[in-house]
Amino acid sequence: DPIVGVLALQGDVREHLAALAECDVIARPVRRPGALAEVDALVIPGGESTTMSKLAQDFDLAGPIRERIAAGMPTYGSCAGMIMLARTVLDGRPDQRGFDGIDMTVRRNAFGRQTESFEAAVPIDGLDDAPVHAVFIRAPWVESVGPDVRVLGRVTSGPAAGRIVAVQQGSLLATSFHPELTGDLRVHRLFVEIVRAATSTTEA
Ligand code: GLN
């Protein structure tokens, strides 16, 4: 089974480890460059992207993660993790630095005061049996995507209708919301399929 790490500097690490453990992968926290070197794929949890950015630099993980992602490591980011995967961040802190994975622009805390936290049914491309029950907590949305990015999901109603909240670019996946908090494993299983597809060529 592939080894999937969860970046364990800050945020809802335990919830992602628990979700992954149910998806037939070996799930491990990643806090050090040595641990990063042993994983086939990485999950970047929800939390606070400014703090995560700072800790990633303090723990000497920022450069190595950026390099692994550039070299094709499958990576999934939820919420703050989506922000960390974005090429461009709006309303970020000036010193905030991400991993430059997905060719997209995200806006931090985009949904505004009245909808700081909310839940919504979001249809996700490829998970067609039912919409995902999406939990948004001071979430970002995706303002724009480059030509290689596939939009997988958008908000369907309310003031933010049409906003992009799930994307994929090659082996990189990101959601504005937190599937790790709901017990619905479909997004994690989708990521594990991406991981298996990416690692099967090297393990065959
Ligand atoms: N607002 C947070 C940030 O900017 C993200 C919130 C979350 O991950 N739930 O990083």
Asked if residue 76 lies in contact with residue 53, where contact means CB atoms within 8 angstroms, the answer is no
Catalytic residue IDs: 79, 178, 180
ipTM of the complex: 0.96
124: left (phi over 0), alpha (psi -120 to 50) or beta: beta
Summarize pLDDT for 47-60 with one digit per residue, the tens.
999 999 999 999 99
Domain enclosing residue 113, as ranges: 3-203
Q: Can you name the residues that pair with 42 across neighbouring β-strands?
A: 5, 75
d(CA 106, CA 117): 17
Domain count of the fold of the chain: 1
Summarize pLDDT for 81-125 with one digit per residue, the tens.
999 999 999 999 999 999 999 999 999 999 987 678 999 999 999
d(CA 37, CA 64): 9
User: For ligand 1, what atom is nearest to the CA of residue 79?
Assistant: 8
Q: What is the CATH number of the domain that holds 37?
A: 3.40.50.880
Q: In angstroms, what is the span from residue 133 Cα to ligand 1's centroid?
A: 18
